[in-house]
A and B are shown apart, each in its own frame.
Chain A
Amino acid sequence: MISRRRVLIFWLVALALAAMLWKSAAIGQAQSSTPVRASPAVIGELSLQATAAPATSTSPSATPLPVNMSIGNDTCLKCHSQPGLSMKTQDGQQFGLYIPADHYNASIHGSKGIACVQCHTTVGNYPHPPFQAADARDATLKLNQVCQRCHSYQFEKAMDSVHAQALKDGNRQAAVCTDCHTAHEVKQITYPGTRQLLPEARVWSAQICARCHNSIYETYAHSVHGSALLGEGNPDVPTCIDCHGVHNIANPETANFRASSPLTCAKCHADPQLMDKYKISTQVFDTYVSDFHGATVTLFEKQSPDAQTNKATCYDCHGSHDISRTDDPHTGLKIQANILSRCQQCHPDANTNFPTAWLSHYIPTWQTSPLIMSVQWFYRLLIPTVLGGMAILVALDASVLIRRRLKKRRHSEPGLQPEAEPADAPGSAPEETAEAVEPAAPAEPATLEEPAAPLASEPLPPPEAALPAGDQPAEDETSPGADQPAPEDTLPGADGQDETNSPFDQ
């Protein structure tokens, strides 16, 4: 039996191993075969294509390179390096066509040898067909489409952004790729290996957004985050894109953005590594979630992120672009009046007592909130002691009850022994007669009569009646000693029943 199971396990393991080996071998084959197949296409082409190839291969849907790849930048620059070269757009405006060669060569594209014609795909050899555009913006919007040839991932993300939506809705000024990245002076903004933002790129980000959103930039620049970034170049603080996203910049006025905003803040403020540097508590998120506002907002965020909530999120109290230190002497929330005014935005009737209902992200301690700590400890002690004690009592009671009932069943099973009744009676009528003999109807009236009869006539009751008055303490003491020499397991039945049964059995 065991050996057969062992054999089965062995074969199962062997099968699994074989399957894994076969799978990994197949992957290895596929990997090794791709470069071999790709190489003939690369060989013999212009050197610039070799550098362009990695760029295309990174994008998921690499479009085929244009046919007129052989046209070098020199060809273009023969004309376009002349300052003042321009054309007229259809609305009669001048449209500059001068490209300073050194600017382009300094850009990430230029430095990687990307040729003009890789983006300007519609031009052929000189003289190329004239470029048509209704106006300068039209030219930008037309040419902007070309970015997706290599950067389709980012391009598609940008299509989901609030900017793309605005463009679709007819705002032609809404930002497209080149508005932020420029057309010919595209900068390297991430570390090549890690794709982390360069520290200086964080500053650029804010400055680029400021081109359109200048008033927000001004506010941000004075905030605790903005002043650290723009003043000290501190890379730890968030720049625009850290909260708003890159490319797929969401509309910040949606319910979704609002409900998930605490998570946005928590990205940094719940990160102990980052917060320890600045001695900022990482409990801010947890304490928020465990309080009224946070509880509701979290519920919405989890279940229906598109539902509008009027419960306060982080930025309702701390501000969004104008976030300041809580201990700021003018705007800090540690100043009673400042936090009260925030409360009153939603609770207009709140008075000066009200803000302290919020524990300011503190985990309660005996120093900060003794009342809460005493409540906490009260229940910490009450639950195990009182409820635990009650549970023990109930458990004891139940065990006695169960044992008594089991015993009773054992006694009543051998036979209902009607002749036992009279023998029981003088010993003092046990409760057993009322319960266990229930099926035997004749016994019932007999027991009912019993109490009255002895009371009236027989001499037996007087000592019994006297017992509670005088003998009580004595009897109480003697009963455990005298009547219970027997070990405990016989005792549960001792509640009157044992007393009557044992003499009878003997």
Chain B
Amino acid sequence: MTNQPTPTSDSIKIERNFVRFTLGQRWEHVVLLLSFLVLLLTGLPQKYFTQWGYRILTTPESVLLVRQIHHIAAIVLILEVLYHLVLGILLLVRRKLSAEIFPTWQDVRDAWQMVKYLLFLTRKKPAYGKYNFEQKFTYWFLFIAIGIMVVTGLILWFPIVWTRFFPGGTVPAAHLTHSNEAIVATIFVIIWHFYHVHLERLNLSIFTGKLNERDMQKYHALEYQRLTGEKVNDNEQSRGEGGKQ
């Protein structure tokens, strides 16, 4: 993966791709996406039943159906979460998965530099590794959100089992949390995730599994450097604070 064999001919354009996600990770994202969507579509009418939800939940059968679909999607999501956790921990322990997804102080510094850049206090965008702070933030925000949704959802699903061990007041608290966290996660996905993967640039690497060289250089300069040994000669990024490492 060095560019020694790059032909000097002007007519040939070589595009190198870098693997970013394994097939398993890509499927995980699809399962997550679909279960999230189904849970949202079946959950929101239940939350807003007095405003507009009653137009969808027209009969007891439809209420039952919507709740059943919600429960099935929840099981799918829970299985996916368990798979993700078990596999992630196993691979991390066996040193087969890099721990780059975990947040570091560098992410805080990157975020701060990005804020400064956006406020025109500096001209340099931070250079990022495999995951930039925005992607890590997305992962961990949704990680926690899904954790909250799963736990509170199970409380609401099995309140009698739950109250065998915990005080009853936790059930309405779980209800409120489930209801609010759903909105938070939805807003988060729309304004943060959708912006970064659809509007800022169309980033389909979670579906295709790979990212092309130009995007690697531009958005993951440090990772590019680590993989290729080439310095990204881009004044905007390579001189960033992240240039240390």
Interface residues of A (CB under 8 A from B): 289, 291-292, 295-296, 298-300, 302-304, 307-309, 347, 349-351, 353-359, 364, 369, 371-372, 375-376, 379, 382-383, 387, 390-391, 393-394, 396-398, 400-401, 427-431, 434-435, 441-442, 444-445, 448-452, 454-455, 461, 464-465, 467-469, 472, 475-476, 479-480, 483-484, 488, 491-492, 494-496, 499-500
Contacts and interface: CB of A to CB of B under 8 A. Distances in A.
Nearest to B161: A349
Given A357-B171, A372-B172, A479-B122, A379 B235 contact: no
Given A372-B172, A390-B191, A303 B59 contact: yes
A358 B236 contact: no
Interface in B193-221: 195-196, 199-200, 214, 217-218
Contacts of A448: 3, 6, 14
Contacts of A292: 175
Given A495-B123, A499-B235, A307 B168 contact: no
B90 interface: no
Interface string B158-175: 011001101111111101
What are the nearest 6 A-B pairs in CB distance? A356-B168, A468-B243, A357-B171, A357-B168, A451-B233, A496-B236
Given A357-B159, A444-B13, A387 B59 contact: no
Interface string B31-67: 0000000000000001001100110011110010000
Contacts of B118: 393, 396-397, 400
A307 B11 CA distance: 72
14 contacts: A299-B54, A350-B160, A358-B168, A369-B172, A371-B173, A375-B177, A379-B181, A396-B119, A397-B195, A431-B218, A450-B233, A452-B3, A455-B233, A499-B123
A295 B124 CA distance: 54
A173 to B, nearest CB: 36
A364 B124 CA distance: 50
Contacts of A300: 60, 63
Contacts of A428: 233-235
B125 interface: yes
A342 B173 CA distance: 22
A455 B53 CA distance: 63
A307 B122 contact: no
B173 A397 contact: no
Contacts of B233: 428-429, 450-451, 454-455
A483 B187 contact: no
B122 A371 contact: no
B163 A350 contact: yes
B48 to A, nearest CB: 11
Contacts of B240: 468
A380 to B, nearest CB: 9
B68 interface: no
Given A351-B163, A428-B235, A431-B234, A393 B115 contact: yes
B223 interface: no
A334 to B, nearest CB: 15
A445 B169 CA distance: 66
A387 B122 contact: no
B230 A452 contact: yes
A465 B6 CA distance: 24
In the complex, which of the residues A309, A356, A475 has the most CB atoms of chain B within 10 Å of its own CB atom?
Answer: A356
B176 interface: yes
Contacts of A465: 231
A304 B122 contact: no
What's the interface size class on B, roughly?
35 or more
A371 B180 contact: no
Given A302-B54, A357-B172, A449 B244 contact: no
Binding site secondary structure of chain A: helix
A397 B199 CA distance: 10
Contacts of B218: 431, 434
B234 A383 contact: no
A465 B230 CA distance: 12
A371 B232 contact: no
Nearest to A446: B10
A465 B166 CA distance: 59
B184 interface: yes
In the complex, which of the residues B163, B177, B181, B217 has the most CB atoms of chain A within 10 Å of its own CB atom?
Answer: B163
Contacts of A289: 50
Given A303-B54, A369-B172, A475-B239, A353 B191 contact: no
Given A398-B195, A431-B236, A441-B13, A494 B120 contact: yes
A359 B172 contact: yes
In the complex, which of the residues B60, B168, B233 has the most CB atoms of chain A within 10 Å of its own CB atom?
Answer: B233
Interface string B2-15: 01001111111110
A454 B238 CA distance: 15
Contact of A394 (B117, B195, B243): B195
B190 to A, nearest CB: 10
A449 B48 CA distance: 58
A298 B241 contact: no
Contacts of A397: 118, 195, 200
Nearest to B11: A441
B184 A383 contact: yes
B19 interface: no
A190 B217 CA distance: 88
A444 B15 CA distance: 10
A354 B7 contact: no
A480 B57 contact: no
Contacts of A396: 118-119
A445 B166 CA distance: 66
B12 to A, nearest CB: 8
B199 to A, nearest CB: 7
A20 B167 CA distance: 67
Contacts of B244: 468-469, 472
